[in-house]
Amino acid sequence: MRLPAVLLPLALVGCFFTGEADSGADSAAPAAPPQIDLLLVIDTSGSMKEESSAVLLGASEVIDALGDSDWRIGVMTTSADYGHGLTPGIDPGEAGTLAGDPVTAGTGADDALRAILACNTIYWKDSDLLSDPSYAAAADGSCPLPAGDEVPREYLECVCPAGWNESEGAGTEEGLEVVAAALCERGGEVPEGCFDAESSITSAQAEANADFWRADALPRAVIISDEGDGSRRVPSADDDAGLYLDLLDWLSADFRLYVLGPAFDGSDGSCLDGAQTWGVERYQNAASETGGAYAELRDPANGCASNDVAAAMAELLADAALP
């Protein structure tokens, strides 16, 4: 059974979820924290520079938000059409595959997440990179966070000595498609819809994800994009995500989707910045129907100023970590 939808307000800083614990709970030993397998799906288009940098620099807040749950994070991109990548084949993170090894709870998890985001996932346009000659690695060789809210070239050189992603993602962001493709190898019987003629990936290619999923873990996905969903199996201009929801529900009734996306309330499109209303509503509907939540990258009440992306991500992930 689906959980009730959680709809986040426009203001992204503060407490979104209110209420007190049931004071009548018995005194039995607390249950073990839930297992959470979470996909972090990043839009790698050039317009995402500001938001992606905020997620990278706020990795510690993201990790902290997952709390004591037994979690792991797999990072992917919204690019289902892998022909736009560095190679003709599937590059790490494309078409529902992971961009690197899963990040697991423990010391150094925030550094591991930052490395995957910085080196393997986020698209860095060379001409847009800030230079900070004062930046230097620490005496022990670690890479301290840069000052300010922009990622300088020198930080990337420290974290990613072998180089970073300089290939912009596919022009169409297909968040629902890549999440479905990733979940198709979660185990058990695979429905026909996973790998049909329209699928972005074949069964053999999807096998790379099989080791990520744990049988008893709760599957979650968090999509960060300044565009709406353009997944291929739903006609353009259609805000109904039903086809994907049916597939995701078949794969796991416990799945929940969270989206940090464009601001749109059904009438005010002043902060869409080019995003299609139907694509945004498709994400909103999918998040609501799976019992997840949708939060906004910008604040219409404040002249479309950027919201605190790291704080918004932390709120979403704190809810995603709940059973």
Mean predicted confidence (pLDDT) in 266-271: 92
Q: Output Rg (C-alpha) for the chain, integer angstroms.
A: 19
Instruction: Transcribe 257-290 into DSSP letters.
Output: EEEEE----SS--TT-TT--HHHHHHHHHHHHHT
Mind listing the pLDDT tens digit for each residue in 186-202? 876 777 778 877 888 88
With respect to residue 18, please indicate whether it lies within any of the assigned structural domains. Answer: no
Please give the residue that has the higher pLDDT: either 90 or 112: 112
Parent domain of 290: 32-107+171-320
Mind listing the pLDDT tens digit for each residue in 98-134? 999 999 988 899 999 999 999 999 999 999 999 999 9
With respect to residue 216, please indicate whether it lies within any of the assigned structural domains. Answer: yes
Element holding 244 (H helix, E strand):
helix 242-251
With respect to residue 191, please indicate whether it lies within any of the assigned structural domains. Answer: yes
**Separation between Cα atoms, residue 95 and residue 103, nearest integer Å:** 19
- Whether 192 and 226 have beta carbons less than 8 Å apart is answered as no
pLDDT at site 198: 80
What residues pair up with 76 in beta bridges, in sequence order?
41
Q: Is 134 exposed, middle or buried (0-12, 13-18, 19+ CB in 10 A)?
A: exposed
Q: Is 38 exposed, middle or buried (0-12, 13-18, 19+ CB in 10 A)?
A: buried
Residue 73: φ, ψ to 5°: -120, 130
- Segment among 7-11, 133-137, 143-147, 297-301 with least mean pLDDT: 7-11
Residue 31: φ, ψ to 5°: -70, 155
Can you tell me which residue has the tokens 């799945």?
A: 255
With respect to residue 177, please indicate whether it lies within any of the assigned structural domains. Answer: yes
pLDDT at site 8: 52
What's the total number of domains in the chain? 1
Tokens of 127: 């001409």
pTM over 0.85: yes
* CATH label of the domain that carries residue 68: 3.40.50.410
Q: Which of 182, 151, 145, 174 is nearest to 164 (CA)?
A: 151
Strand residue runs (E) in the chain: 6-7, 35-42, 70-77, 103-104, 218-224, 256-261, 293-296, 298-299, 305-306
Mean predicted confidence (pLDDT) in 307-319: 94
| Residues 118/166/152/224 CA torsion (nearest 10 deg) | -50
Angle between helices 242-251 and 277-289 (to 10 degrees): 30
Quote the mean pLDDT of the chain: 87
With respect to residue 312, please indicate whether it lies within any of the assigned structural domains. Answer: yes
Tokens of 139: 């005496």
Helix (H), strand (E) counts: the chain: 9, 9
Mind listing the pLDDT tens digit for each residue in 37-81? 999 999 998 889 888 889 899 999 989 999 889 999 999 999 998
Mean predicted confidence (pLDDT) in 246-257: 90
**Separation between Cα atoms, residue 45 and residue 210, nearest integer Å:** 27
With respect to residue 6, please indicate whether it lies within any of the assigned structural domains. Answer: no
With respect to residue 146, please indicate whether it lies within any of the assigned structural domains. Answer: no
Q: Which of 200, 182, 234 is nearest to 74 (CA)?
A: 182
Q: Which residues does 322 contact at the CB level (< 8 Å), separation at least 6?
A: 34
Mind listing the pLDDT tens digit for each residue in 282-300? 999 999 999 999 999 999 9
With respect to residue 268, please indicate whether it lies within any of the assigned structural domains. Answer: yes
